[in-house]
Chains A and B, each alone.
Chain A
Amino acid sequence: EADIYQTPRYLVIGTGKKITLECSQTMGHDKMYWYQQDPGMELHLIHYSYGVNSTEKGDLSSESTVSRIRTEHFPLTLESARPSHTSQYLCASSSQGITEAFFGQGTRLTVV
């Protein structure tokens, strides 16, 4: 079934650790996004990509980095996690043109 998948769903890690949040979509979409959201709160765009080898920073300053080597894969990496990174991270994708974005289930990250 075509969908957008995020792993892990939940992650608790210690301060200073390096982590990568995975996002893959089987919808054939060119555009992919990462949003940061505290539960029930505003969606902040932190990174987006319009295709392979294309990445841009979003409106919210973030210490994370992303890569887009394959169309279906858009991982997000935190080199050194801090408690301030505790949040939910939502990946999304959309097709070319002006269309809806489909969201993954999210990764709930806690840094202790």
Chain B
Amino acid sequence: GENVEQHPSTLSVQEGDSAVIKCTYSDSASNYFPWYKQELGKRPQLIIDIRSNVGEKKDQRIAVTLNKTAKHFSLHITETQPEDSAVYFCAASKPGYALNFGKGTSLLVTP
């Protein structure tokens, strides 16, 4: 089955700096790659997603890049703010299968 690896497990940045979280996947048939943000005590919520026919997608301060050949995708957060502090999960899926999540990255943005 699909195996999603996520790094780093923890990340601490200063407010205003950029943060990058990387994920790799094993199944070349995977074609959907969402990113979820989970704040303390809350449910995971989608922040951005990308499909395999696109190499990059941006939404204000967040962007996701996908390299299908290398089977990896990354989340980029620019101009980080304290409210960006949360656990971020990447995931991958292919038609007919459930989402497979990475183990999560705990991001701390310090003022």
Contact = CB atoms under 8 A, between A and B. Distances in A.
B18 interface: no
Contacts of A48: 98
Interface in B39-68: 40, 42-46, 49, 51
A102 B104 CA distance: 17
B104 A103 contact: no
Given A98-B95, A100-B49, A42 B103 contact: yes
B46 A59 contact: no
B98 A58 contact: yes
B44 A90 contact: yes
Interface string A48-81: 1000000000110000000000000000000000
Interface in B57-102: 87, 89, 93-95, 98-101
A32 to B, nearest CB: 10
Interface residues of B, number: 25
Contact of A100 (B42, B46, B101): B46
Interface in B1-60: 1, 31-32, 34, 38, 40, 42-46, 49, 51
B45 A103 contact: yes
Contact of A40 (B45, B51, B87, B98): B87
Interface of B: 1, 31-32, 34, 38, 40, 42-46, 49, 51, 87, 89, 93-95, 98-101, 103-104, 106
